[in-house]
Structure 1
Amino acid sequence: MKKLSTTSWKIQAASPSTTARTGFHCPGNGLWRPEDGAADPVFIFEGSLMPASGGVSTVWHLVREPQR
């Protein structure tokens, strides 16, 4: 299991280009929404595998990083 660093919890504006595909590791903690917008945003931890949305592969977009 990947060790999570507390430095990844810094407050930063989410870049519109921050994306991840289903089956790949999440590049950062935060709220992610599927590209098609068919589901509500979900919180995914850094290092976790990005899930499918509605049973199909998708591209996920970072909506918001966690705030302290």
Structure 2
Amino acid sequence: MAFVHAPSRTGFHAAERFNVAIEAIKSFRARRAAYNRCYNELALLSDRELNDIGISRMDIPTIAAQEAAKV
């Protein structure tokens, strides 16, 4: 009679889970950097400059979030 080793657990191994977690952190940091860069660039503009491009100061967080989502 032969014994067959069948893993009782399917899914990722610990190293794969670790790599997935690292990639998620890298992705988060890239999105956060894009958000901060966009937010800071728009925040430096005067109200008149913002009005010229058709946005208000209250729109800056939303626009920065949309830009970060593209990363």
TM range (shorter): under 0.3
Structure 2 length-normalised TM? 0.22
Instruction: Identify the structure with bigger relative contact order (alpha carbons < 8 Å, sequence gap 6+).
Output: 1
| Structure that is richer in helix per residue | 2
Q: Which has the larger share of strand?
A: 1
Greater Rg, structure 1 or structure 2?
2
TM-score normalised by length of structure 1? 0.23
